[in-house]
Structure 1
């Protein structure tokens, strides 16, 4: 039986960041990925936004890892010359009754360590974005956008330069905890032994965890929320990202930009029992437009076309309280030398480098 040091399951942005971190720390790392290329799951189906860290409680890992990850990510993108832009974001109150909520979000962001936020009145917001309609706005200058695929290629290159191996079209069928390490059965039936196991499998995080015997299984129920994106077929009316205030299950149908300046809107929230089609649901231009007109009155449904969809792996269902990122390490899994990740949705992309640090800490205990 082939023996490995550290096996990372999943080659999305988080798995690649973890593999890079552990490889550069001197571990012999192998990544396996069930698809034929890296980053084909949720890492390739998001808004590619670098988040500031506004939305969640300041003690949550979603917050601390986002704020830390944002600093690490901008530094890494600049150091490697990777495409990105600090375009900034406006979170808008679309009626006067939302102004207290906007102020509360400002206070939350300040408590989270986002120190560059500015509250704007309607006139100040329109000076920045003349096409905007709002009663007030929160400006987040440190929000930005990036090319997620270029980031993943750079993370993989770093990991491979540090000795990491990648095996594509190879998943984990099952695993068994031993007195030392794990016996892992791969999707082709081949068995290997690894000393350390890391699960970073995105949408399949909980199902992969359930396929491991000999560990203490956490009590958790996965949930999935599909989000559709529609592209604007005309020139973007905005230079910055435009977000409404958050709504249950997501951040509302907002306007994001790509690095070429093209605009898209989304995502909405479609709860589903299991991960299913990643194709954008047709026929949503009109309901999307109804939401968009709250902050862009000139929106025209005829100019919106289905673009793509993503699915968010959640640990809370419809009507349930929001849940933090989950990390199950040796203490939670009965001493097994592994870390499993769950519920890594937004801001997982922004947090990826900080998540990698956190996983290394869980494995080393320091």
Structure 2
């Protein structure tokens, strides 16, 4: 059991002090970087029960679930706070579970996760709204694809799906142009930041410790135990991968969950003893969002989605809880991302205003009254994908000992959409596997 607080990890990094933490009877102080005064090399090793690497929405959900089950949990994240990556750069949509192959993890965990998420939001007053979604066919050639989506959704157990004609869709959304639409009444939106705050609070109240500005730089195996190498994030600011990093602390947990999202494959490659053949190839697709300049009278009250495209669900309409209308994301495949850039989350998130020129024709397929000059740059996110351009989509990979042979380690790869919707179900799934 954890003894003393994880206090500070090289707060004065220029002094190059060794950090450590000791084990205590209950839990460690939260949200502080690990550190101690200078320590002997042999004292820089500590044990922990469960370590979750990554404090995005999935990592937070996993930490909360494990803590609720009585586990002592430590969450390590390289950023200054939680949810700074993909979790804060998405559409904030609660998906129904329509798009995914039957019996896939995406299908099962999305449907289960949606139910769990609505329940959690209601019980904890997390801002959300079940506003419904219209997936639209804007031409006759798209109708068979719409029928396929409806069949997929039914097979996946999505309730309430209904095909509607253009006239009914027009009554629901007067600004909408389509020849047919698939209505998904159980789709919705959620305030992701409030959700993550709630997950952090509940995890902490059940003993979870959070250590930010703390990077897991690698690991090695000792007698089938994965020993994590931990460092102050500041030490990596100017690191280019050309020299060896030495840890400030070695943490030896019973269970480790790699929830680092975009960095997950690159981090797994730094686990000495994990066979490289079990680590999937990583692909990255940036998606930009543009906002409607005037939201005094939002044109839509439902989510509006076109037929999915290669790599994404198409440039769709999202109305957030403040009435802001967003369009996006598009799909821009990013090439040349090396493992160091991926490991350190060195991605480009700026949105070029000129990219709006590509948005207008896509949006006008279903929203013909969109006026020139009404789109403003919003934000961008990057999808942690396991399939590239023109390749078939790949399922979530939740990889345990049966795949890689290391006891107590679970890697999460390719947790893109519907990762937000699925987060609680993913956490439930992982906790059940660790309890076996």
The TM-score bracket by the shorter chain reads over 0.9
- Hey, what does 1:220 align to over in structure 2? 280
How far apart are residue 230 of structure 1 and its match? 0.3
The answer as to whether partners of 2:360 and 2:370 remain within 8 angstroms in 1 is yes
The answer as to whether partners of 1:177 and 1:336 remain within 8 angstroms in 2 is no
The answer to whether structure 1 residue 348 and structure 2 residue 419 are counterparts is yes
Distance 2:377 2:214 in 1: 32
The answer to whether structure 1 residue 280 and structure 2 residue 351 are counterparts is yes
- Partner SS state of residue 207, structure 1: helix
- Partner SS state of residue 421, structure 2: helix
The answer to whether structure 1 residue 230 and structure 2 residue 290 are counterparts is yes
- Hey, what does 1:141 align to over in structure 2? 185
Number of residue pairs aligned between Structure 1 and Structure 2 = 365
Stretch of structure 1 that moved more, 17-26 or 329-338: 329-338
Superposed CA deviations along residues 146-198 of structure 1, whole A, max 9, x for unmatched, are 10011001001111111110000001011112225321111232222211111
How far apart are residue 3 of structure 1 and its match? 1.2
Distance 2:92 2:384 in 1: 17
Distance 2:123 2:284 in 1: 35
Stretch of structure 1 that moved more, 59-68 or 207-216: 207-216
How far apart are residue 219 of structure 1 and its match? 4.2
Superposed CA deviations along residues 285-315 of structure 1, whole A, max 9, x for unmatched, are 2210100000000012300011000000000
From 56, 59, 62, the equivalent of 2:100 is: 56
The answer as to whether partners of 2:265 and 2:279 remain within 8 angstroms in 1 is no
Question: So what's the TM-score if we normalise by structure 1?
Answer: 0.98
- Hey, what does 1:295 align to over in structure 2? 366
Distance 2:402 2:222 in 1: 16
Larger Rg: 2
How far apart are residue 282 of structure 1 and its match? 2.5
Distance 1:221 1:285 in 2: 31
- Partner SS state of residue 23, structure 1: helix
From 191, 194, 206, the equivalent of 2:253 is: 194
- Hey, what does 1:248 align to over in structure 2? 310
Distance 1:328 1:62 in 2: 14
Flag structure 2 segments of 5+ consecutive residues without an equivalent: 1-44, 233-247
Distance 1:300 1:362 in 2: 52
Stretch of structure 1 that moved more, 216-225 or 1-10: 216-225
From 102, 113, 127, the equivalent of 2:171 is: 127
Question: So what's the TM-score if we normalise by structure 2?
Answer: 0.82
The answer as to whether partners of 2:226 and 2:406 remain within 8 angstroms in 1 is no
Superposed CA deviations along residues 190-241 of structure 1, whole A, max 9, x for unmatched, are 2222111110001001001111012334141100000000000122200001
How far apart are residue 39 of structure 1 and its match? 0.2
The answer to whether structure 1 residue 11 and structure 2 residue 46 are counterparts is no
Distance 2:430 2:372 in 1: 44
User: Which structure 1 residue ranges, 4+ long, deviate > 4 Å from structure 2?
Assistant: none
How far apart are residue 361 of structure 1 and its match? 2.0
The answer as to whether partners of 1:339 and 1:362 remain within 8 angstroms in 2 is no
Distance 1:68 1:58 in 2: 13
The answer to whether structure 1 residue 79 and structure 2 residue 123 are counterparts is yes
The answer to whether structure 1 residue 157 and structure 2 residue 201 are counterparts is yes
Flag structure 1 segments of 5+ consecutive residues without an equivalent: none
The answer to whether structure 1 residue 184 and structure 2 residue 228 are counterparts is yes
